[in-house]
Amino acid sequence: MESNGVPLTPEQARAALADTERVRVSTTALTATPWPTWFLITLTLYAAALPITLGGIVADRYWLLPRPAWMATMLAITALYAALFSVAAKAWREKTGVALRMDVLPKRATLPLVVGLPLLLVGGPYAFRATGEPGWLVAASLIGAAVSVGFHLTFVRLHRRTA
């Protein structure tokens, strides 16, 4: 390695490499930073509303609202969620210079969420359809909201550990 045409000493080269590693760790910590609080609330509300909305869509018969109203509700809340996700990601990128990323988290933290949450959010509505008991929807909604908050708290703890 050279600096201004002068070769670096071994100590200077090691110091430069250590600085590079600190920048990499810092960048990883920034990209793993938790969602803004307003987006956590949005995500939690979406996770809570999804089972109930899906329950209305998959119900055998008219349940509280006609099926087209449930479909319109599902499309509206999903579009709103996607738009707010874009706003949160853009605001974070502008604030920190790095993108929000899930891939920097350990698989042991994200794999249960990626597998379990969809099963929960879709399983509750299908159990409701099979039994006619809305308790399945309420349970899936409450558990989905709890998982959202719990994952956020885990995210915060992991971020603090890497920061």
Predicted local distance difference test score (pLDDT) of residue 135? 94
pTM for the structure as a whole: 0.69
Compute the distance between CA of residue 65 and CA of residue 56 in angstroms, rounded to an integer: 7
Predicted local distance difference test score (pLDDT) of residue 38? 83
Type of residue numbered 137: L
Q: Please give the chain's pLDDT, 163 residues, in tens.
A: 545 566 767 776 676 666 666 555 555 554 555 667 888 888 899 999 999 999 999 997 788 899 999 999 999 999 999 999 888 888 877 876 766 666 666 677 778 888 888 898 889 999 999 999 999 999 999 999 998 888 888 777 766 665 5
Compute the distance between CA of residue 119 and CA of residue 37 in angstroms, rounded to an integer: 25
Backbone angles phi, psi at 46, to 5 degrees: -65, -45
Length of the chain: 163
CB atoms within 10 A of CB 69: 13
CB atoms within 10 A of CB 52: 21
Predicted local distance difference test score (pLDDT) of residue 118? 87
Compute the distance between CA of residue 115 and CA of residue 14 in angstroms, rounded to an integer: 42
Compute the distance between CA of residue 24 and CA of residue 31 in angstroms, rounded to an integer: 11
